[in-house]
Amino acid sequence: MIAGKYDFTIEQGTTIDFQIQYTDCDSAPVDLTDYESRMQIRPFIGSPTSYITLSSSLSSCGTGINMSGSNSLNPPTSGTLGVYISAVSSSNLNWDGKASYDLEIYSGSGDCQYVVRLLQGKVKLSKEITTAP
């Protein structure tokens, strides 16, 4: 499978919340039971540093990748993932131009880990003007 290409903009200081569904060649949802997910936004491909890292282990503010979709109501068998970056987390982002990202799901560990890259692309950061006190 070749990863889908999706470019998007993060509006600094706002909540980012979007959902994708992983389907097979017959458009049937892929069962994500026993999978975890990860996503990094980096200045460029191969950069040793990342601006933000998301995983299926959600942070206390909810930032991360929900393996039950954006609304947390979809079962893993629905193939739905929700990508969520809280307003607080997005307000801490700061770069100019475009950054690169990819979103992967994986199962297993070590040499036997099975990895699928679902999405990749560019992320633009639209800097905020109005800030919270």
Mean pLDDT value of segment 9-19: 96
**Taking 80 as the threshold, does the pLDDT of residue 133 lie above it?**
no
Continuous segment of H or E residues that includes residue 87 = helix 87-91
| High-pLDDT (> 70) share of the chain, % | 99
Rounded CA-CA distance 79/35 in Å is 10
- Residue in this structure with the two tokens 């980096």, named with its chain if needed: 42
Rounded CA-CA distance 112/76 in Å is 22
Q: What is the mean pLDDT of the chain?
A: 93
**Taking 80 as the threshold, does the pLDDT of residue 48 lie above it?**
yes
- Residue 88 three-state SS: helix
Q: Tell me the longest C-alpha to C-alpha distance in the chain.
A: 50
Q: For 62-104, what is each residue's pLDDT tens digit?
A: 899 999 888 888 999 999 999 999 999 999 999 999 999 999 9
- The more confident residue out of 35 and 71 is 35
| Burial class (CB within 10 angstroms; exposed 0-12, middle 13-18, buried 19+) of 133 | exposed
Rounded CA-CA distance 105/87 in Å is 24
Q: What is the pLDDT of residue 131?
A: 80
Q: What is the pLDDT of residue 110?
A: 82
19 forms bridges with which residues in the sheet?
A: 82
Q: How many CA atoms lie within 13 A of 30 on its CB side?
A: 16
Q: What is the pLDDT of residue 130?
A: 87
Continuous segment of H or E residues that includes residue 7 = none
Mean pLDDT value of segment 104-131: 93
Q: What is the pLDDT of residue 3?
A: 92
**Taking 80 as the threshold, does the pLDDT of residue 61 lie above it?**
yes
Continuous segment of H or E residues that includes residue 120 = strand 114-126
**Taking 90 as the threshold, does the pLDDT of residue 24 lie above it?**
yes
